[in-house]
Homo-oligomer: A and B are copies of this chain.
């Protein structure tokens, strides 16, 4: 896995780490991550073993058998062993993550508390926990507990002060112009999407593409590098390709690696225009108040008022406002006059139009309509 390579950068010869982009690395996830350079990954999505600790067989009321997760990779000697494994792979993940990158981990109640606890101990800063509500969970056949109808994802930045990517507008647009909440509903992976071989599912816990789609759209930019250390059937890679992100997958099992490679080869990337639209579907460009003055929407010297005419201010040529001794931007002056910590100047300040007061935000809208294609 040659991740070190001589490259020629603008005439200079240097030894720089090169990432094995759009590649599946077969092997142990900790060893494979150790071979990757520090601070090189924009986003990590991890779907580690859940340590289910299932007992005997389970049958449905009709007598049929439940095909449970009995794979060797989900077996650990003890809770402590699982804890140790978790901290080890998370520490490597942290090393290779860029300072402004972020990490997602999915789990169930069997393991997610150990995972979350380790994430906090390692210095990551949890941004959200997200609930995947399953539209069609398996019932509790014995009637002994509540139907286990969700899984939990943790989303964390590298530290309390670390920056991270969050495409707020994309999420809001995706959610019908309401803020995207922390509970997401998807059906479990099935139908055509579910990879099968000889009629049997290839992987017991294949994740739905819709889940990865939302994660990548929310927390990466186009061209970002996404790493999945428990690649399985490669859902992360397939979605990354579709969304114009680069990806690296790691998995130990040859069967999974082969299935994932074939799947990703067959996946079609979206064309550029579709990608742009999704990235910021309704993102309005920022408008500086000064632009409106500059372009004649509001003349310098115009008087602005709050909605009840308790305050008045004069527009300056540079887009500033003045009110007696106080001066500043529309937001800052509004806050000062109200003695408030903050103020949205666009909706607080009004101009006079045929005797009536109208918010200056109306002018911004007019400007946007006139200048947007």
**Residues of chain A having any CB pair with chain B under 8 Å:** 57, 59, 61-65, 79, 108-110, 112-117, 119-121, 126-131, 133, 137, 139-140, 143-150, 152, 154-155, 166, 168, 171-172, 179-183, 218, 335, 338, 340-344, 347
Decide: B179 and A120 in contact? CB cutoff 8 A: no
The residue of chain B having its C-beta at the shortest distance from the C-beta of A169 within the complex is: B143
Sort A-B residue pairs by CB-CB distance and give the 4 closest, nearest first. Answer: A113-B116, A63-B340, A149-B181, A117-B117
Decide: B179 and A59 in contact? CB cutoff 8 A: no
Chain B residues with Cβ under 8 A from A149's Cβ? 181-183
Decide: A131 and B150 in contact? CB cutoff 8 A: yes
**C-alpha spacing A113/B156, complex, angstroms:** 13
**C-alpha spacing A114/B140, complex, angstroms:** 27
The residue of chain B having its C-beta at the shortest distance from the C-beta of A168 within the complex is: B143
Shortest distance between the CB of A126 and any CB in chain B (Å): 5
**C-alpha spacing A298/B131, complex, angstroms:** 51
Shortest distance between the CB of A299 and any CB in chain B (Å): 28
13 A-B pairs with CB atoms under 8 Å apart are A59-B340, A59-B341, A63-B338, A63-B342, A109-B154, A110-B126, A113-B116, A114-B116, A129-B152, A139-B179, A146-B155, A146-B171, A183-B183
Chain B residues with Cβ under 8 A from A63's Cβ? 335, 338, 340-344
Chain B residues with Cβ under 8 A from A152's Cβ? 129, 152
**C-alpha spacing A117/B183, complex, angstroms:** 22
Q: Which of A110, A171, A179, A338 has the most CB of B within 10 A?
A: A179
Decide: B117 and A113 in contact? CB cutoff 8 A: yes
Decide: A62 and B119 in contact? CB cutoff 8 A: no
Chain B residues with Cβ under 8 A from A347's Cβ? 61
Chain B residues with Cβ under 8 A from A129's Cβ? 108-109, 112, 152
Chain B residues with Cβ under 8 A from A117's Cβ? 113-114, 116-117
Chain B residues with Cβ under 8 A from A143's Cβ? 168, 172, 179
Given contacts A63-B340, A109-B126, A183-B133, contact A166 B144 (CB under 8 A): yes
Shortest distance between the CB of A69 and any CB in chain B (Å): 17
The residue that A113 contacts in the complex, of B57, B113, B181, with Cβ under 8 A, is B113
**C-alpha spacing A218/B140, complex, angstroms:** 15
Decide: A181 and B109 in contact? CB cutoff 8 A: no
**C-alpha spacing A154/B155, complex, angstroms:** 20
Shortest distance between the CB of A62 and any CB in chain B (Å): 7
The residue that A146 contacts in the complex, of B121, B180, B338, with Cβ under 8 A, is B180
Decide: A150 and B182 in contact? CB cutoff 8 A: yes
**C-alpha spacing A14/B58, complex, angstroms:** 48
Decide: A146 and B126 in contact? CB cutoff 8 A: no
Chain B residues with Cβ under 8 A from A180's Cβ? 146-147
